[in-house]
Amino acid sequence: MSFVAINVLTVPAAMRDTLEQRFANRAGEVDKMDGFEAFELLRPVEGQDAYLVYTRWDSQASFQAWLSSQAFGQGHAQASADGPAATGSSVWTFEVAQSKTRA
């Protein structure tokens, strides 16, 4: 089964458009990584103030390879150059125990 990493970003209201623009214009380096399966940016709707950056991988090893890759640094260069849009971040990791998608 797959491995999921969710980066939970605390984003002030004034920086939400900036964050979404950065992801819309992202370098896409993660898409090229071995073992990468999916990416989603989840916007808070009601009662939440955190964005979730969801990535799915074929294994935890593939995710760890992404974190230690040069591509990771390249993919995050814009945030470093322009300063962060988020004021806080934590990463949640999961193994997929069950999965069902619509055929």
In terms of phi and psi (left: phi > 0; alpha: psi -120 to 50; beta: otherwise), the region of 59 is beta
Residue 101 lies in a domain: no
Residue 48 lies in a domain: yes
Question: Three-state secondary structure along 34-60?
Answer: CCEEEEEEECCCCCCCEEEEEEEECCH
β-sheet bridge partners, residue 94 = 4
Residue 84 lies in a domain: yes
Residue 35 lies in a domain: yes
**Average pLDDT for 69-94:** 80
- pLDDT at residue 88, as a whole number: 85
| pLDDT classification of 81: cutoffs 50, 70, 90 | low
Count of CB atoms situated within 10 Å of the CB of 87: 10
- Give which of 3, 4, 2, 1 is closest to 54, Cα–Cα: 4
In terms of residue numbers, what domain contains 27?
A: 3-95
Residue 85 lies in a domain: yes
| pLDDT classification of 44: cutoffs 50, 70, 90 | very high
Indicate which CATH number applies to the domain containing 16. Answer: 3.30.70.100
